[in-house]
Chains A and B, each alone.
Chain A
Amino acid sequence: MMTPMIRATAASLLLAGSMAVAAPALAEDDWIPPVTDALTQTECGDCHMAFQPGFLPARSWDAMMDGLADHFGDDATLSPADTAHIRAYLTANAGDVRGSELARDYMRWVRPDGVPLRITENPAFLREHDFRPEVWDRPEVVTPSNCLACHRDAERGSYEDD
């Protein structure tokens, strides 16, 4: 019974947030090129949504693929061939390689020598997700990296305020 209320609150918070930004929100501000590689979609999408490569620079994806044995605490290792394939795709489409507007918005917060691994720690993310704790506590959310809990078209690269 609480859920619609909370959802409405979240929506108004999101609305308030985007209205506070000086520039009017254009659709392309909320869009990033989606994952188009089947293996990347399948393997990276196994336990979580396959995040778009544009959210991190190429060196971050290299570090990610180097560290799959301890992937945020989980063993996410793949065969060497699959690892190489996915690494090539992610680095070729990284935010500092193929920049869309949203990717550039994320990249401008990354230091020249920075190797971020968590997209959710980027100030561009935090700026848009400054919610009250009860929004994060919604049972379907679980964690801030669960884009699909609120952005139903996230896998298609669309992060409009749902």
Chain B
Amino acid sequence: MTPARSLTLAALLATGLAASIAPAHAGDAADRQAILDGLAAEARAADPAFAGFAADRGETLFRTQWAGGDDRTPACTACHTENPRAMGRNAKTGRPIEPVAVSAKPDRFTDPDEVAKQFRRDCEAVLGRHCTAQEKGDYITFMMGQ
């Protein structure tokens, strides 16, 4: 219970902090940070040498042609395009996809259930396996700078 409680506390504190800076998306930034904190704890548990998330690794994950899952989605870019700030399109269904970059869609990576669901589905479809906590955190970190 303790890690969850301290996470909530951190999120509350972060909410307060962010509110004084950017009232419009105060909750979004805090919610996103809470998700990153959870992934960091998970990554540390998996690898004691975990040294934080990195945007450049996230970008490599985003642009690599994995071709490990569905033929129609060899890479993240198959749906999200090479530009994370652009609208994408689901390569299987044709449905438009909102930009994945946080600058273009500020509520990206703010709902833990949604984030977990999307990584579960998309990592399977692109890499043919689950993503590690390190990979998820790197990806989110990259998108936060986009």
Question: Which positions in A face B, CB cutoff 8 Å?
Answer: 47-49, 72-76, 140-143, 145-146, 148-149
Residue in B94, B121, B125 whose beta carbon sits within 8 Å of that of A146 in the complex: B94
Contacts of A146 in B (CB 8 A): 93-95
Q: Does B9 belong to the interface (CB within 8 Å)?
A: no
Kindly state the separation between the CA atoms of A143 and B93 in the bound complex, as whole angstroms: 6
Residues from chain A with Cβ under 8 Å of B94 in the complex: 48, 140-143, 145-146, 148-149
Whether B93 pairs with A142 at a CB distance below 8 angstroms is: yes
B91 in complex: contacting residue of A142, A145, A149, CB < 8 Å: A142
Are B95 and A74 in contact, with the CB atoms below 8 A? no
- Known interface pairs A47-B95, A48-B95, A73-B70. Does A142 touch B121 (Cβ–Cβ under 8 Å)? no
**4 cross-chain pairs, A with B, having the tightest CB-CB distances, nearest first:** A142-B94, A146-B94, A48-B93, A48-B95
A-B pairs with beta carbons under 8 Å apart, 7 shown: A47-B92, A47-B93, A47-B95, A49-B93, A142-B89, A146-B93, A149-B94
B103 in contact (CB, < 8 A): no
Q: Does B90 contact A (CB under 8 A)?
A: yes
Chain B CB count within 10 A is highest, among A74, A141, A145, for: A74
* Contact, CB under 8 Å: A49 / B124: no
By beta carbon, the residue of chain A nearest B90 is A47
Option from B90, B92, B124 in Cβ contact (under 8 Å) with A75:
B124
Taking residues whose C-beta sits less than 8 angstroms from the other chain, chain B's interface range is: 10 to 19
Alpha-carbon separation in the docked complex, A51 to B87 (Å) = 22
Chain A residues with CB under 8 A of B120: 75
| A76 pairs with B95, CB closer than 8 A | no
The A-contacting residues of B in range 39-80, CB under 8 angstroms, are: 70
- Bound Cα distance from A148 to B89, whole angstroms: 12
Contact present for A142 and B70 (CB under 8 Å): no
A142–B90 touching, CB < 8 Å? yes
A10 to chain B, nearest CB (A): 15
Return the chain A residue nearest B121 by Cβ.
Answer: A75
> In the complex the two chains form, is A145's CB within 8 Å of B93's CB?
yes
Beyond A48-B93, A74-B92, 20 additional contacts (C-beta under 8 Å) are A47-B92, A47-B95, A48-B90, A48-B95, A49-B93, A72-B92, A74-B70, A74-B125, A75-B120, A75-B124, A76-B121, A140-B89, A143-B92, A143-B93, A143-B94, A145-B93, A146-B93, A146-B94, A146-B95, A149-B94
A73 to B93, CA, bound (A): 12
Shortest CB–CB separation between residue B130 and chain A, in angstroms? Answer: 11
CA separation between A159 and B83, bound complex, in Å? Answer: 33
Which residues does chain B contribute within 8 Å of A74, judged by CB atoms?
Answer: 70, 92, 121, 124-125
B92 — which chain A residues lie within 8 A by C-beta? 47, 72-74, 142-143
Cβ of B118 to closest chain A Cβ, rounded Å: 9
Chain A proximity mask over B10-23: 1 for CB below 8 Å, otherwise 0: 00000000000000
Query: In the bound complex, what is the Cα–Cα distance between A83 and B96 (angstroms)?
Result: 24
